[in-house]
Structure 1
Amino acid sequence: MRMISSLIATLFCAGSFAAALPDEPHLYVEGTAKMQVQPDRATIRVAISEKSKQLVEAKNKVDTVVANAIKLAKRFDIKKDDIHAEQLNIHRQTRYNRNTNEEEFEGFRITRSLTLTLGKIDSYPELLQELVNAGITEFNNTEFSVSNHNELADKLKKEAIKDAKSAASELANEFDVDLDKLYSVSFAPMNVPSVPYVRQAARATLMDTESGSYKEAYNTGAITISAQVFAVYLIK
């Protein structure tokens, strides 16, 4: 891992000094790599919303629901650092009365948001049901991810570098030219008018994780993780 990180840092450094393509004959290529993995964690964003003319009563109800949801999260082995409760939001709501041409007070809308990161993905359907039972009224979105994303991303960057090398060799061979030296490289597309040469898209490798099984109603499918590298080679 340290060797990969050092290599990536070196490539970023080289790319930062390459503002444009060289004047000499060159090849501009793109290397790609990707894989599909089953998620093993879920970041769940929910909220409780209450509307009432009695501000204190509504606030107490919202705070109680959030407190119960936090206790519930701990029962599902969600760590304290993976529980984020937002501050209370209070909005005074009015309605325009056409008969009196005045704004009439309708009540207060009180909301609090809660973000939970669940590590035991098999418990996801059960946790959702328990949150509903606890009084949560809004489910904003859920983001599925893998806990070893950085490790996989580093591996893919290394594979993308290999693909870029192969692309350069393939292209040079097709045009009967010889590769000279690497001029520049970047993990983001270069700000140049040229379009890089890309080899035939690589198939995504499917990797399973132990925590990838769901109840059918909550099956999310695989997540695709990808990496790209853009390289310029001088030719002779």
Structure 2
Amino acid sequence: MKFFPQAAIAVSLTLASVASWAATPDFPHLATTGYGEVVAKPDMAQFSVKVVESTMTAEQAKQSVDKSVTTFLQALQSEGVKSEQISSSNLYITPQYHYPKKGKPELVGYRASRSITVTVEQLSELNRYLDMALNSGINQVDNIQLKVKDQAVYQQQARLAAIKDANSKAESLADGFGMDVGGVWRIDYNMSGGQPVLMRTMAMDAKSESNSYQDSTIIIRDRVDVIYKLD
């Protein structure tokens, strides 16, 4: 098949905004986006909890929050949780006002809060640590994130799957148009900053709740944008 400069053929697979790439080649080419994903079972977790107290004075609010945080931290340490697995925020105290329809705002008390984030190296211990937090006076669970220890290994597998997907699409499209892939001209890769997608099997009752996290799976995804030369 002959190619004429005035009628160069460019085949584009626009599964992503490949057309927005800054540099566009002036020769016959094909652009694809490859996607890859790997399913993994979580084996660790990270959770964030918060204690929030409202009292008449700032000192009372501070003392109440400090007591709950100290009790929880001591409980974690007694279970062998390392200090590098625990992080806590500064104490926040804000005045609370009542706003009547008429007149000036009235100070009615103070609200104090403090957050703690814990990394759980053994997923089976997650529920026990959460119970410890609640028993210590922590009154809010902000976030529970299931993870895998070998995140980099799974990410590499997803990346290789994305590369394979891009190559497969390129070969299929080129063959469909009676052309051949002549090599790679450009690769654009920006690892996604998003967290793995959690697919959780919900517990049916409280007794099975402790096993529901182990029944969950995590989908780790990656993508790569490639421009190929066409012969």
TM interval, short-chain normalised: 0.7 to 0.9
Match of 1:53 in 2: 56
Once the two structures are TM-superposed, the CA of residue 188 in structure 1 deviates from its matched residue by 4.4
Q: Distance in 1 between matches of 2:79 and 2:141?
A: 18
Is residue 37–residue 222 contact of structure 1 (8 Å, CA) maintained in 2? yes
Match of 2:27 in 1: 24
Once the two structures are TM-superposed, the CA of residue 97 in structure 1 deviates from its matched residue by 3.0
Q: Distance in 1 between matches of 2:223 and 2:57?
A: 56
Match of 1:228 in 2: 223
Match of 1:83 in 2: 86
**Partner of 1:97: helix, strand, or coil?**
coil
Q: TM-score, normalised by structure 1?
A: 0.76
- Which runs of structure 2 are paired with 1:96-115 in the superposition (5 Å)? 96-98=99-101, 101-115=103-117
Is residue 73–residue 116 contact of structure 1 (8 Å, CA) maintained in 2? no
Q: TM-score, normalised by structure 2?
A: 0.77
Equivalent AA in structure 2 for residue 232 of structure 1:
I
Once the two structures are TM-superposed, the CA of residue 168 in structure 1 deviates from its matched residue by 1.5
How many aligned positions are there?
195
Q: Distance in 2 between matches of 1:75 and 1:158?
A: 43
Equivalent AA in structure 2 for residue 160 of structure 1:
A
Q: Distance in 2 between matches of 1:86 and 1:102?
A: 33
Q: Distance in 2 between matches of 1:231 and 1:77?
A: 48
**Partner of 2:105: helix, strand, or coil?**
strand
Once the two structures are TM-superposed, the CA of residue 180 in structure 1 deviates from its matched residue by 1.2
Q: Distance in 1 between matches of 2:161 and 2:77?
A: 39
Q: Distance in 1 between matches of 2:172 and 2:90?
A: 57
Query: What CA deviation, in whole Å up to 9, does each residue of 1:63-118 have, x standing for no partner?
Result: 111111112222444321121111110101110234x6122111011111111111
Aligned to 1:146, which of 141, 145, 148? Answer: 148
Is residue 188–residue 230 contact of structure 1 (8 Å, CA) maintained in 2? no
Is residue 76–residue 127 contact of structure 1 (8 Å, CA) maintained in 2? no
Match of 1:217 in 2: 209
Q: Distance in 1 between matches of 2:166 and 2:59?
A: 62
CA RMSD across the alignment:
2.2
Long gaps (5+) in structure 1: 1-17, 190-205, 207-214
Q: Distance in 2 between matches of 1:76 and 1:152?
A: 30
Long gaps (5+) in structure 2: 1-20, 192-198, 200-206
Once the two structures are TM-superposed, the CA of residue 159 in structure 1 deviates from its matched residue by 2.5
Is residue 34–residue 227 contact of structure 1 (8 Å, CA) maintained in 2? yes
Is residue 51–residue 110 contact of structure 1 (8 Å, CA) maintained in 2? yes
Equivalent AA in structure 1 for residue 83 of structure 2:
K
Matching of residue 186 in structure 1 with residue 183 in structure 2: no
